[in-house]
Structure 1
Amino acid sequence: MTDLQIAGLRNAREVRPGLLYRSATLNQLTAEGARALAKLGLRTVIDLRDPAEVAHWPARLHELELDVVNLPMLPQDANHRDEPLPQIYRLLADTAGPVLVTVVRRLLEPRALPALVHCAVGKDRTGVTVAVLLDLLGVPDEEILADYLASNAGLGLDDGPVEYLDERGRLRVSNPARPELLTGVLDRIREQHGSVEAYLLGHGLRAEELAALRAALAD
């Protein structure tokens, strides 16, 4: 992308506007995009990419002073991005609990908000993360799904897959967000843990942290 594509969580009635954003990688952030971020008062960037991706595509922050934290969303013992998307989404449901707890805790740090969450493209790892946060805030599934599917328009995927070169110079395809991918993750979490809230609490999130998240972000 030539500029920053931001999807702010502005439409869900349970979420306070202007505090949580998602985007693709910031390695091609332009000066104009940086000025847009500055106007948002952004303070924290949570980067869900693998270390190899971060090294190959470092963020271009221009003059922005941001707290940037890298929290790899996928296990680092294999190249899971070679797997089919449905399998990657199932893997996220099964393994990302500890990372998601850390995301919540980073958002609760003093002066952490407004915050932006991103991965490489901004729809898969980021989409799951934002979906979990929205569920914790009480947003209905249909609104969570609508926010997730907004990625297609923001990333130019409305007309189908887009090819790109990964950090190793290999040709890859970015596929459009599909409803069944995200609903599959949420269904899997709920089937195995009872609820998204129980999923996070089972991975160490404390009840008082959940309450603090809702106090900070819920309307």
Structure 2
Amino acid sequence: MTDDVQSAFIDIPGVRNFRDAGGVGALRRGVLFRSGSLHELAPEGALRLKALGLRTVIDLRSRFELDVWPDLRHDLDHETFSLPTLPANREDAEHPWPEDQATLYPFMAATAGPSLVAAIRRLGAPGTLSAVVHCAVGKDRTGLTIAVVQSLLGASEADITADYLLSNTGLGLLDGPTPYTDETGAERISRPVSAELLASSFAWIHDRHGSLPAYLHAHGATDADLDALRANLSA
């Protein structure tokens, strides 16, 4: 990336890890943002989102997370779309979320197809931008979704990975794992992301489908959907 990586971050009071996803591949700046959840969004943060022209929020969290930590709006006028990356909630009896990151990333690739296609269609629709894609802290589920969009916009693996790794800066994980309390009230550990983790999601996709577009097509995306995304987000 040619720009100073720190320039991607934007201070939105009450929101963690908020940054511009643009400037990577053909994805232009100022139209697609990524972050943690908006459940602690401050009034000043809402004013800053309004100044960014926010029209759409794509929330990748589970229904359980939304019930416990609903996003705040502070009278913001935007549409919110719930597009869960993972099934049900982390303690679902049939499809529990993997506890370790090395297993989580291939698991996300296996479960995220419908969410990714729905997000691509929404981001390619007229009147959608600017948009924010978020999960709980904007690291794993958001990381994969944004990486897929950037890849479809022609970004190199190196640039996608460099942008993805900024979550370690945005979440204070450069010095290692930190504890947190999840939506169920359980104590957990937030761990840094690594290039190998994101690569394992894409490896799963390529091993089973041959290419990212083929994977998306298998989940219902059309060439017109992908073209619309590129047209709407390209510089």
Task: State yes or no: 1:10 paired with 2:10.
Answer: no
Amino-acid identity (%): 47
Task: State yes or no: 1:86 paired with 2:97.
Answer: no
Q: Letter of the aligned partner of 2:169 in structure 1? A: A
Q: What is the aligned counterpart of 2:164 among 142, 148, 154?
A: 148
Instruction: For 1:80-159, list aligned pairs within 5 A.
Output: 80-159=96-175
Q: Letter of the aligned partner of 1:141 in structure 2? A: E
Task: State yes or no: 1:197 paired with 2:203.
Answer: no
Q: Which runs of 5+ in 2 are unaligned?
A: 1-11
Contact 1:80–1:88 (Cα < 8 Å) also in 2? no
Q: Distance in 2 between matches of 1:158 and 1:35?
A: 30
Q: Distance in 2 between matches of 1:44 and 1:191?
A: 33
Instruction: For 1:3-82, list aligned pairs within 5 A.
Output: 3-4=14-15, 5-76=17-88, 77-78=92-93, 80-82=96-98
Q: Distance in 2 between matches of 1:103 and 1:13?
A: 19
Q: What is the aligned counterpart of 1:163 among 173, 179, 192?
A: 179
Normalised by the length of structure 1, the TM-score is 0.94
User: Where does structure 1 differ by over 3 angstroms across 4 or more consecutive aligned residues?
Assistant: 77-82
Q: Distance in 2 between matches of 1:13 and 1:104?
A: 16
Superposed CA deviations along residues 49-106 of structure 1, whole A, max 9, x for unmatched, are 0111111111112121110111111122546345211111111111211111111111
Q: Distance in 2 between matches of 1:158 and 1:27?
A: 24
Q: Distance in 2 between matches of 1:82 and 1:200?
A: 23
Contact 1:74–1:80 (Cα < 8 Å) also in 2? no
Q: Distance in 1 between matches of 2:136 and 2:21?
A: 19
Q: Distance in 1 between matches of 2:96 and 2:161?
A: 24
Q: Distance in 2 between matches of 1:118 and 1:98?
A: 16
Q: Letter of the aligned partner of 2:144 in structure 1? A: V
Q: Which runs of 5+ in 1 are unaligned?
A: none
Q: CA deviation at 1:13?
A: 4.1
What is the aligned residue count? 219
Q: Distance in 2 between matches of 1:59 and 1:39?
A: 18
Instruction: Tell me how large the CA RMSD over aligned residues is.
Output: 1.6
